[in-house]
Amino acid sequence: MDAFLIHGGKRLKGATQVSGSKNASLPLMAAALLADGPVVLHDVPHLSDIQNMARLLRELGCEVEHDENGTMRLEVVDEGNSHARYDVVRTMRASVCVLGPLLGKRGNVLFSMPGGCAIGDRPIDLHLRGMAGLGADVELEENGNIHTKAKRLRGSKMFLGGPFGSTVLGTINVMCAAALAEGTTVIEQAACEPEVADVADLLIKMGAHISGAGTPRMTIDGVKSLSGTEHRVIADRIEAGTLIMATAITNGDVKIENCPIDALAAAMDRLAAIGVSVDTVNGANPMRATVSVSSARRLEPVMVTTQPHPGFPTDLQAQLMALVTLADGNSIITEKIFPERFLHVAELSRMGAKLYRQGPTVMVSGVKRLIGAPVMASDLRASAGLVMAGLAAKGATKVNRVYHLDRGYEQLELKLQKLGADIERVSE
Ligand code: EPU
């Protein structure tokens, strides 16, 4: 297994670029199952999660080619197999996003129920409620498989909110299935994340009738068929936020291109309060802006609560926590989306951070410096937080099990090296 060896204390400087969004690419790829012709996606990042999704789609009869420039061509050639097997689903929870497209197009899906994962239970009840709302039969069968089938899906009005708010992939699944249903579907408390709007953009190019994507109320008028098309994936807002915070924790000065600043309002608000300045150099397209990041020597403490978009994203919580370990005072971070998503807390403590957790809330009492240590995390974003801490810490930090990072950050160590970080990939 690979690890990152980091010698901290180098200020990040120079210019870098944000890759295409992982969390948009995965459901965009799955949406290709709906099309009657080839779908071409540009800016699909090279990540292990993307490879896993490609493997699943190939099993489902879709040809997938991904070139080194990030262009991916997907074309369904055989609709014979609609079983998403446990072996694939258990390696990647986002496999769930084939559910809606398969049901919409083929009317029949056997989907292995995903188990819990490192960041929490992650049920799929809202996805299934949505499918049932469109008239599908949903049954749990042997071997943990859920059989979802419908002769004809019918549009309906549904509420998709749960105890933790809206669901991103649940909303996308219902939108995909409803795109080919008979009649009109209205989703109330739809997720407003930019990834939902990006998938809607693709479906609209394929011929779907969708309005309100990116707002809590979406309307989908079903059509008879969808065609192939071409689409560029939005930039990754979480990678952008991570690069901004990595710059800040090293008191660096970095220009970041292809930055979806428009999708980062809550993070920008908190970063401004901490004392990080993010200036837009070129904002002609605010989803692909160029920004310049620098930070004050003295970081201020903040209160942060994660929320569905446009609130502060759970996927930046670990990175923000790493940043405020060095703030001058006490910060309070509350996790409202995945209340158990704190795998980084014990590891950051090993590096000298002062963290006190009670349930979904962590008080971070800022320290003057972090000290390098061997650390490990079993979640993608927690690992990113640990890399950031390593960049700022005194001495050497070894972040073990970086296969978690490889799931969601394209060539992170190379991007950081180019910015002057002393980081290398080594064998554990
Ligand atoms: N939830 C339910 N029932 C459901 C679905 C969700 O109770 O049927 C709950 C979840 O347990 C959670 C909340 O609703 O408490 C929100 O979950 P959501 O469904 O929105 O998460 P997701 O769609 O499965 C995506 C991202 C995650 C990101 C979340 C929240 C992808 C592939 N994954 O997951 O990204 O944390 O939205 O923004 O898009 C990551 O990239 O590291 C990552 C985990």
Contact yes or no for 2/383 (Cβ under 8 A): no
How remote is the C-alpha of 279 from its chain's centroid?
Answer: 24
What pLDDT, on a 0 to 100 scale, did the predictor assign at position 416?
Answer: 98
Q: How far apart are CA 67 and CA 75, in angstroms?
A: 15
Tell me the pLDDT tens digit for each residue of 124-165: 999 999 999 999 999 999 888 999 999 999 999 999 999 999
Domain boundaries, the chain: 2-19+235-427, 22-232
What pLDDT, on a 0 to 100 scale, did the predictor assign at position 115?
Answer: 66
12-45 exposure pattern, b = at least 16 Cβ within 10 A, e = fewer: bbeebbbbbbbbbbbbbbbbbbbbeebbbbebbb
- Surface-to-core class of residue 94, CB atoms within 10 Å of its CB (0-12 exposed, 13-18 middle, 19+ buried): buried
What pLDDT, on a 0 to 100 scale, did the predictor assign at position 149?
Answer: 96
Q: Which residues are catalytic?
A: 117
Residue 137: Cβ within 10 Å count: 11
User: DSSP readout, 347-361?
Assistant: HHHHTT-EEEEETTE
Minimal-distance CA residue to ligand 1 atom 39: 23
Tell me the pLDDT tens digit for each residue of 231-252: 999 999 999 999 999 999 999 9
CATH number of this structure's domain 2-19+235-427: 3.65.10.10
Provide the 8-state DSSP code for 410.
T
18: nearest Cα among 309, 290, 385: 290
The low-confidence residues of the chain, meaning pLDDT below 50, are none
How far apart are the CA of 405 and the centre of ligand 1, in A?
18
CB of 127 shorter than 6 A to ligand 1? yes
Q: Which CATH architecture has domain 22-232?
A: Alpha-beta prism (3.65)
What pLDDT, on a 0 to 100 scale, did the predictor assign at position 116?
Answer: 65
Alpha-carbon Rg for the chain in angstroms: 21
Tell me the pLDDT tens digit for each residue of 351-398: 999 999 999 999 999 999 999 999 998 899 999 999 999 999 999 999
Minimal-distance CA residue to ligand 1 atom 26: 23
Residue 77: Cβ within 10 Å count: 9
Retrieve residue 34's tokens.
């709906």
94: nearest Cα among 151, 54, 139: 54
Instruction: Give me the residues paired with residue 74 across strands.
Output: 39, 64
Minimal-distance CA residue to ligand 1 atom 25: 168
